[in-house]
Amino acid sequence: MGFKKIIYISLFAFGCNEGAEHLANDSIGKIDSLNTIKVNAAFIATHLSDTVFIKGNQVIFLRPDSARFASYEKTLNAGISEADADFGTAVSMAIDTIVNNKNFKNVSVLVSTKRFIQLIDCQGGPITIDRDTVNFGIIVTSKGKKLKAEQNIYPGEHYINVIRNYYKIKK
């Protein structure tokens, strides 16, 4: 993928970060560049179809949903398909490594297109992340531990290193 396309996609995808102020009146904070919102049960109940609930040792890869992807295809006219293909290749490599390596036996993997991600048992949890402006990225979490999150497209080996470092898994 060309350098200009990567820059354009990055600016488009991450340039307008309105946050979740229109969704909740509670305080909003940032954890590793992802919007976190304090929510109550009524909020979650109204957004159940667009929320994924996470517990334990979990790696969550973030992708745009089909509606957002289609919108980007129309708006960008090029680039999003290549970005998605690059991300898919990297994620596939990372997932294959996790599934086929006994050192990762206590780690679960999920690819999510959901807008809201509720981390039930991480440090400070439950934490709800509104990833409205985050198209591609990774969240790594564990019970009682601070989450690790990155937003962008990297090679698969980068994601494996993030996961190894977070869970202190040796090569």
Q: 160 and 166 in contact (C-beta within 8 Å)? A: no
Give pTM, 2 decimals: 0.74
Could you identify the residue written with the tokens 């992807």?
A: 69
Query: In tens digits, what is the pLDDT along the chain, a chain of 171 residues?
Result: 443 333 333 333 333 333 322 222 222 233 345 555 555 555 555 556 678 889 999 999 999 988 888 888 888 766 888 899 999 999 999 999 999 999 999 999 999 999 888 899 999 888 888 888 888 999 999 999 999 999 999 999 999 999 999 999 988
List the one residue out of 34, 37, 38 whose CA is nearest residue 17.
Answer: 34
pLDDT digits (tens, 9 = 90+) for 113-124: 998 888 999 998
Estimate the crossing angle of helix 80-100 against helix 66-76, to 10 degrees. 140
8 A C-beta contact, residue 129 and residue 120: no
The encoded tokens of residue 160 equal 């494996």
Is 121:137 a contact under the CB 8 Å cutoff?
no
CB burial of residue 30 (10 Å; 0-12, 13-18, 19+): exposed
- Cis ω on the peptide bond leading into residue 155 (within 30° of 0)? no
Q: What is the pLDDT of residue 164?
A: 96
Domain boundaries, the chain: 3-167
